[in-house]
Structure 1
Amino acid sequence: MSDYYDLRRVLKELAAEAPKQYHATDELVDPNAELAGVYRYIGAGGTVKRPTQAGPALMFNNVKGFAGTRVLIGLLASRKRVGLLFHHDYHTLGQFLNDAVDHPLNPVTVSEADAPAHEVIHKVDDPDFDIRKLIAAPTNTEYDAGPYITMGLVYGSNRAKTKSDVTIHRMVLEDKDTIGIYIMPGGRHIGAFAEEYEQANEPMPITVNIGLDPAITLGATFEPPTTPLGYNELGVAGAIRQEPVQLVDAITVAEKAIARSEFTIEGYIMPHQRMQEDINTNTGKAMPEFPGYDGDANPAVQVIKVTAVTHRQDQPIMQTVIGPSEEHVNLAGIPTEASILELTNKAIPGKVLNVYNPPAGGGKLMTILQIHKTNPADEGIQRQAALLAFAAFKELKTVILVDEDVDIFDMNDVIWTVNTRFQADQDIVVLPGMRNHPLDPSERPAYDPKSIRVQGMSSKLILDGTVPWDMKAQFIRARFKEVQDWRKYLQ
């Protein structure tokens, strides 16, 4: 086992400590629709069309057309499994990540000899170079625009090389040396760097890193205001593992790569170049996205021209995720929970005990806030907490407020409080005409012409399921005897 954290060490630990959480198969699987279709039944969860379920992470060892390459899916598709991977209680992952954000451990650069990511190198000037034959990127459905990289961490810097950052984007393999990358307007730091290069009419050097320690992947999904422009989220992973993430100089571009990744793509985001995302299929669809629907193909995604692909020598691992799966829920939701918890603790300390972004909202659209009221002056503080969350995270659409005796990780308990501590005429708050996530298909003027002027606007919803302070004595749950040794009755 490596002395350093990487994906291989994590998988060995998981298989040894929780064997039911990881499964490898030698059955032949086609990456074109079949691979994702299989995992849909085994462990995707989230907002994937039923039937689906929670299940183990799955390693496909025998992938059609890619001898010697393995494909991993679903590593983070269970909140409890995320806790196991980080050796931490899954209930308090938000605060755990906040501590990592507050005390980052910056990455270090290692020599080429210490970078297994560069054990095998393929350059674009090789006569047989074709990224579509080197990267076993799945096509998740038969309607996708093509094979997608969904767990690729893009590393880039500003032109002055004073700021670097990492973000995850959907990327489709368009031809042998071209990738279409969708950078959502108005947020991601890589997008800000790319705009700077485009204004200078220069290509932006980047690396795309695939097959990583999940501390790197999850840490990279933090966004402003928690991690502002210039904050390199690799420091979060360093703090989680208490060892710095290792970087190495790229082979063909002036940028860094993650030294222990399974695959690395090197190349440039080209200035003033755009292309039709589904140019090879013309289906009008991109890939399944987190709300549970196929995303519309973008008519003008940005273009990456690939200069090299590198990978590890021994059965490199292509890591992927299904957009609507619980894996995406955790990737997007847990850092957002941490950010909301940090924000509310600063503004109204001690009043929000915990935060959960459930699968029903894909990790982005819904949050549940557990409220702690201690005196009559706290009445109303719960709705201020909701407004704080909306103000900081424009993608958030629904906030449910519950008391501290409600298990926010149990949707039956949450919906119970909405049914027994809630009156619709006074406990619903609607905020029309706000910005939200453009992948929500209900956010279009034809759906609500009164409050949605342009696509991407939405009404926001607060469901206040907290008991009014002066009525707490009338809402005490049935009190069962506390039994400490109840497990003996199951032996």
Structure 2
Amino acid sequence: MQNQVNDLRSAIELLKGIPGQYIETDVEVDPIDELSGVYRRIGSGGTVKRPTRLGPAMTFNAIKGHPGARVHIGLLASRKRVGYLLGCDPKRLGFLLNEAVDRPVAPVEVGADKALCQEVVYRAEDEGFDIRTILPAPTNTPDDAGPYLTLGMCYAHDPETGVHDVTIHRMCLEGPDELSIYMVPGARHIGHFYEVAEARGEALPISISIGVDPAIEVSTCFEPPTTPLGYDELSIAGALREQPVELARCLTIDELCIANAEYVIEGEILPGTRIAEDRESGTGFAMPEFPGYTGPAVPEIPVIKVKAVTTRRNPIFQTCIGPSEEHTSMTGIPTEASILSMVERAMPGKLKNVYCASPGGGKYLAVLQFCKSQPSDEGRQRQAALLAFSAFSELKHVFIVDEDVDPFDLEDVLWAMNTRFQGDVDVVPIPGVRCHPLDPSNDPSMSPSIREHGIACKTIFDCTVPFSEKHRFVRARFLDVDPKHWVPEFDGE
């Protein structure tokens, strides 16, 4: 199934054939606040303020102020849907990505004849050029600094070594030919490339591909140490599809872009130039981020000067709601793969599965399913949790459960916490560790252990049964039967 998909359009076609996974509407929608407001109720899920739910992916075919434009949202806003798109059991996605990291398939450059993303070209020197009219970028809320690109695959290279990388950043439309770009300090390789270029007094060429194969969107979210500097995450997408990602040469900058993307923005991050992220709106806010809060606008943020926008014919703009389940899928599944890889190398066969759950936005919370099969395994479950923190530095809380607990069912996890956990001995705090700046509780005002914003108390919640006590904690045994004999339409969910 996974080889049927190689771009956004084929992904949508696949979903059209699966009941409950896709809808579209011809009713006009305003991209300013309204589009996200609609999808919040249809299917965003995640850490979005309730009421929300998991639901189908959705395409809006009539966008106010953008005749002929279409906007797609929610492609990955369901783990089950990610499974369909990657041809994998949703509970085995972490294993699938882990295997892909170990057998990368490098991207290849193709000729202009295969650059579908350049069927239509808008150049900055053209009269009336304005990215705000070319791109039907939505705002999520009335507080947003402006329309944002939330699913732009940013591709750039180190000006000294030539190594490439692809990452996703929030980018706000700031004017006819300018975007602001927020790069978490010290956490993204393109941020490093920009620092190198700026130190040389040079602009950093960057392409931004929007509307791509979902395998690329998931692969893009790997981080060190799983994918160190110099590892091109597009190689993971190539492994997932068993064929290389095709790249095209940009028209106005010395960089590559994803050849079959719906939109590509070509530009340069300017050296020594900063603006206020909310320069156009003055709201003081940026946009809703994955923890569920609207982040503050950055007072001094780098600027991308846009040179051109290229598109496919009748392009589909892709977006997401910042705190939606889509973020959990994109960041959480690669994190699961990273944890599985690191723990398996240290203690083979002990970690049965990992779930980076939705309440943590795919970054802050992981549930580890650990198997104690002999007395010497006691205590190793906590070592596995420490390794999880090493595998993904932005992780904040780790819950450990036994092999008879489903890590993907948070009610089952909380059941384990209530029947197998004692707060005075099973909480392991690790104070004073760098985490993620978008967590508002990671602040000195919250704890004397926090010296500056972005530092946290990471915590292990050990909800496993001591090995010597396992005989007392056997779950009630039920007869395992197939209910389809009595209810033929039963689908197992």
| 1:466 corresponds to | 464
Q: Runs of 4+ in structure 1 displaced over 3 angstroms?
A: none
1:15 aligns with 2:16: yes
Whole-angstrom distance in 1 between the partners of 2:425 and 2:473: 18
Whole-angstrom distance in 1 between the partners of 2:48 and 2:30: 20
What letter corresponds to residue 336 of structure 1 in structure 2?
Answer: T
1:193 aligns with 2:193: yes
What CA deviation, in whole Å up to 9, does each residue of 1:405-460 have, x standing for no partner? Answer: 00111011000000001111111111111111100011111122x11111011111
| 1:280 corresponds to | 280
* Pairs within 5 Å for 1:89-488: 89-160=89-160, 162-313=162-313, 315-448=314-447, 450-483=448-481, 485-488=482-485
**Secondary structure at 2:469's aligned position in 1?**
helix
What CA deviation, in whole Å up to 9, does each residue of 1:371-416 have, x standing for no partner? Answer: 0111100000011111111233221111000000001110110000
| 1:489 corresponds to | 486
What letter corresponds to residue 487 of structure 1 in structure 2?
Answer: K
**Secondary structure at 1:323's aligned position in 2?**
coil
| CA drift at 1:283 | 1.1
The percent of aligned pairs where both chains have the same amino acid is 55
| CA drift at 1:161 | 5.8
| 1:30 corresponds to | 30
| CA drift at 1:72 | 0.6
**Secondary structure at 2:40's aligned position in 1?**
helix
Whole-angstrom distance in 2 between the partners of 1:427 and 1:31: 48
User: TM-score scaled to structure 2, two decimals?
Assistant: 0.97
What letter corresponds to residue 470 of structure 1 in structure 2?
Answer: S
Whole-angstrom distance in 2 between the partners of 1:111 and 1:91: 38
What letter corresponds to residue 210 of structure 1 in structure 2?
Answer: I
| CA drift at 1:111 | 1.0
Q: Is the 8 A contact 2:93 2:333 kept in 1?
A: yes
Whole-angstrom distance in 2 between the partners of 1:149 and 1:363: 20
| CA drift at 1:243 | 1.2
What letter corresponds to residue 484 of structure 2 in structure 1?
Answer: R
| CA drift at 1:365 | 0.4
> Structure 1 residues 371 and 3, CA, compared in 2 at 3 Å: closer, same or farther?
closer
> Structure 1 residues 12 and 472, CA, compared in 2 at 3 Å: closer, same or farther?
same
What letter corresponds to residue 329 of structure 1 in structure 2?
Answer: T
Q: Is the 8 A contact 2:16 2:22 kept in 1?
A: yes
Whole-angstrom distance in 2 between the partners of 1:339 and 1:391: 10
Whole-angstrom distance in 1 between the partners of 2:318 and 2:372: 44
| 2:491 corresponds to | none
Q: Is the 8 A contact 2:5 2:213 kept in 1?
A: no
Whole-angstrom distance in 2 between the partners of 1:142 and 1:474: 54
Whole-angstrom distance in 1 between the partners of 2:100 and 2:317: 27
Q: Is the 8 A contact 2:223 2:392 kept in 1?
A: no
**Secondary structure at 1:247's aligned position in 2?**
strand
* Pairs within 5 Å for 1:54-69: 54-69=54-69
**Secondary structure at 2:232's aligned position in 1?**
coil
1:46 aligns with 2:43: no
**Secondary structure at 1:14's aligned position in 2?**
helix
What CA deviation, in whole Å up to 9, does each residue of 1:96-133 have, x standing for no partner? Answer: 00111111111111111111100000000001100000
What letter corresponds to residue 474 of structure 2 in structure 1?
Answer: I
Whole-angstrom distance in 2 between the partners of 1:455 and 1:352: 33
Q: Is the 8 A contact 2:73 2:320 kept in 1?
A: yes
Whole-angstrom distance in 2 between the partners of 1:443 and 1:425: 23
> Structure 1 residues 4 and 111, CA, compared in 2 at 3 Å: closer, same or farther?
farther
**Secondary structure at 1:414's aligned position in 2?**
helix
What letter corresponds to residue 389 of structure 1 in structure 2?
Answer: A
Whole-angstrom distance in 2 between the partners of 1:281 and 1:40: 23
Whole-angstrom distance in 1 between the partners of 2:378 and 2:203: 54
What CA deviation, in whole Å up to 9, does each residue of 1:62-115 have, x standing for no partner? Answer: 011111111111000000100000111111100100111111111111111111
**Secondary structure at 1:490's aligned position in 2?**
coil
**Secondary structure at 2:247's aligned position in 1?**
strand
| CA drift at 1:4 | 7.1
| 1:72 corresponds to | 72
CA RMSD of aligned residues (A): 1.1
| CA drift at 1:156 | 0.3
Whole-angstrom distance in 2 between the partners of 1:480 and 1:410: 19
**Secondary structure at 1:49's aligned position in 2?**
coil
> Structure 1 residues 244 and 423, CA, compared in 2 at 3 Å: closer, same or farther?
same
Whole-angstrom distance in 2 between the partners of 1:393 and 1:339: 7
Deviates further, 389-398 or 205-214: 389-398
Whole-angstrom distance in 2 between the partners of 1:59 and 1:191: 32
Q: Is the 8 A contact 2:29 2:35 kept in 1?
A: yes
Structure 1 unpaired stretches of 5+ = none
Q: Is the 8 A contact 2:177 2:306 kept in 1?
A: yes
| CA drift at 1:19 | 3.3
Q: Is the 8 A contact 2:44 2:325 kept in 1?
A: yes
What CA deviation, in whole Å up to 9, does each residue of 1:31-60 have, x standing for no partner? Answer: 000000000000010110000000000100
